[in-house]
Chain A
Amino acid sequence: VSEHTSKRRILVIDDSDAIHKDFRRVLSPERKSSLAELAQLEDELFGVTSEVPPPSEELFEVDSAFQGREGLEKVREALASGRPYALVFLDYLMPPGWSGVETLREIRKLTATVPVVICSAYTDYSWEELTREFGEGPLLSELRKPFNHQELYQLALRLTG
């Protein structure tokens, strides 16, 4: 449980399966124990020459929601359980349900402090309108698809730090 609480919880709300896979691959990659053993053996054989950093503990815990309503429910549950999300990635277009803006509106009714990143491939929205409604600042930012995985990792690190 202590391990869980130390992780930064991230919620991804997107209607595409593949996108969830991308987020997981970048933010919480599988760390295999075999890799640690191999690194240990390398050290013993060749001295401490390995360029690969020792496997760090996973920093992020990624949750998935495929529609706006589902996402809102997860935010509500996380708040109720006392382990709120540190960051929400929100797709802009999620037919047939709520759009990103509608979902954001509902999330803001629950919590005003969780940072939200609007993440979309199609710019059918005006950023000006979004900031006019939800305010400027670190609580609302934008990530265009396709994103660079390092950019994503750094963004998550920064916004949850």
Chain B
Amino acid sequence: MGVPIAIVIALATLASYLHISRLVRDSTLSHLAQHVAERVQREQFVLLLAQDNQAVLNKELEERIRAWRQQDRVTEHLPGAYNLIFRDDGQLLAHPEMRVESGKPAYNILGTGESGSTVGTAAQRAHLRAIFERVKGRSPEQTVLELPEHGEYLAVARLSGPDWNFVTVLPEREVSSAALSAARYVLVFGLASLLLELVIVFWVLRELEQRIDTRTRELKDVQSKLVEAARRAGMAEVATNVLHNVGNVLNSVSTSAMLAKERLAGLRLEHVARVAGLLEENRPRLGPFLTEDERGRKILPFLSQLGNHMKEEHRELRELLDDVRRYTEHIGTIVKLQQGYARHSRVKEPVALEGLLDEAVRINEAALARHKVVVVRALEPLPPVVTERHKVLMILINLISNAKYAMDAVPENKRCLTLKVARAQGERIHLEVSDTGMGIAPELLTRIFQYGFSTREQGHGFGLHSSALAARELGGTLTVHSAGPGQGASFVLELPLHSTQGAS
């Protein structure tokens, strides 16, 4: 913005300067012409008075010449200019510097006078000759002539009568210096404007730079706040899920435990003691009692039935207690995961990816099983990766959960989740979660990572967003590939093998 203005100011200054110098030159030259005309008119009058009297004329002429020779009035108006008079035949009558000593014959410019004297230097004589030629060669109506080879202007008037030429010589530099002095304010003003403009531009640029700095800082703040908000929102979502999941699982734990207690009460262990008591009573004739007595005969079938019942109850009890153990472990996993989130100190530890993937699958296991999703693993054996365990786990859980949702719309026999781990170029690892689900339209491929964007009615739009952020924090990337709607999708998490760098 500043540079065009500077150019405009410079051009305007230059144009003003040129215009003013032209005006000054024109006015100087017309002043010159006027001056010459006035002078000639004045001299002419004197000559006219003396016209009739040859003696008076001669005397007058002599006086004029003397006066002119002394140059007392010639240069009265135009500083730097001088006047000279010569006759058509070349005789020099007056010149401020080239004077002929009194009593000697006059100097002839053309150098034809046989008794001619010599005046001035050769250069002066040549100069004079050039002036003479230029004046003789002019057309009658021309009053101002240029003599470019000597850088001079000539104003010419003729004195009628004696065929005298009155010439005022004005060096061109006088004109241009007058123009310069007239235009110097314009130049100074122009330069001052230019400087002012440059100062303003500089100031504006510095101000702009400062504002950009401030803005950048503000944006960075907002960004980190947004990240924090996303993380909190993500944690809130996790907390919701945790409460929901723990509540559900706890329900099963409590139901199983209560039923187990009831079953235990229903085992009828007291009957074993009662049967033992009955046998004790009839110990002397135990054989006949068991085979002949009405009650005694029922003891063996009862014991056998009781045994069956206890076996059955024992099996169910074990099943119930197994459920209690399983559900409790499940709660433990959920809580551990929650702790992983809560502990956001950035602890890097060696992580076995295979185990981490298993964990991520296990957490989604119930849903995957319910939705009849087949899980395929293609895991290249890799050394443990040094990274932040819970972040990677969160990303994987998220990707697996998303993949499961993406396959809701496809037939059950076509729901396949593929987990791939491989070594990528440059000490990096490549974790891929692919599904055979609904796919992603090309225009949504970038939008899905946006904060708050979700294709699901119930979605919060934090999952992929915070996953992508987490990937970046780990010094990695999270990218998506999909051939389009109905073509499935695959998410690739690339991580450094040794996470030393971490973006802020």
Contact = CB atoms under 8 A, between A and B. Distances in A.
Interface of A: 15-19, 21-22, 25-26, 29, 32, 34-35, 37-38, 41-42, 44-46, 52, 66, 93, 95-97, 99, 120-122, 124, 145-149
A148 B254 contact: yes
Interface string B35-67: 000000000000000000000000000000000
Q: Which of B251, B258, B302 has the most CB of A within 10 A?
A: B251
A145 B312 contact: no
A122 B274 CA distance: 49
A19 B258 CA distance: 15
Contact of A99 (B298, B312, B458): B458
Q: Mostly helix, strand, loop or mixed at chain B's interface?
A: helix
Contact of A41 (B240, B258, B301, B369): B301
Contacts of A21: 252
Contacts of A46: 271, 274
B302 A120 contact: no
A32 B244 contact: no
A42 B258 contact: no
Contacts, number: 108
Interface in B239-278: 240, 243-256, 258-259, 266, 268, 271, 274-275, 278
Nearest to B275: A45
B234 to A, nearest CB: 16
Nearest to A40: B305
Q: Which of A46, A52, A66 has the most CB of B within 10 A?
A: A46
A146 B250 contact: yes
Interface string B306-339: 1011001000000000010001000000000000
A66 B370 contact: yes
Contacts of B295: 44-45
Contacts of A122: 240, 243-244, 247
A65 B271 CA distance: 42
A145 B248 contact: yes
23 contacts: A18-B249, A19-B248, A22-B252, A25-B256, A26-B259, A34-B305, A42-B302, A45-B275, A46-B274, A95-B405, A95-B458, A96-B457, A97-B457, A97-B458, A120-B247, A121-B246, A121-B251, A124-B240, A145-B251, A147-B251, A147-B255, A148-B254, A149-B255
Interface in B214-256: 240, 243-256
Given A37-B305, A95-B458, A96-B456, A18 B248 contact: yes
Given A19-B248, A42-B268, A97-B457, 8 more contacts: A18-B366, A26-B255, A38-B309, A45-B274, A99-B458, A121-B245, A146-B254, A147-B254
6 interchain residue pairs of minimum CB distance: A121-B247, A146-B251, A18-B252, A22-B255, A146-B250, A122-B244
A149 B309 contact: no
B298 A96 contact: no
A67 B384 CA distance: 40
A18 B259 CA distance: 14
A77 to B, nearest CB: 21
Contacts of A19: 248, 251-252
Contact of B244 (A37, A52, A93): A93
B182 interface: no
Q: Which of A26, A38, A120, A124 has the most CB of B within 10 A?
A: A38
A97 B458 CA distance: 7
A91 to B, nearest CB: 8
A43 to B, nearest CB: 10
A29 to B, nearest CB: 8
A34 B312 contact: yes
A44 B298 contact: yes
Contacts of A18: 248-249, 251-252, 323, 327, 366
A89 to B, nearest CB: 12
B191 interface: no
Nearest to B252: A18
B356 interface: no
Nearest to A92: B244
A116 B175 CA distance: 109
Interface string B265-294: 010100100110010000000000000000
Interface string B346-380: 00000000000000000000110110000000000
Nearest to B327: A18
B10 to A, nearest CB: 69
A41 B244 contact: no
A120 B405 CA distance: 22
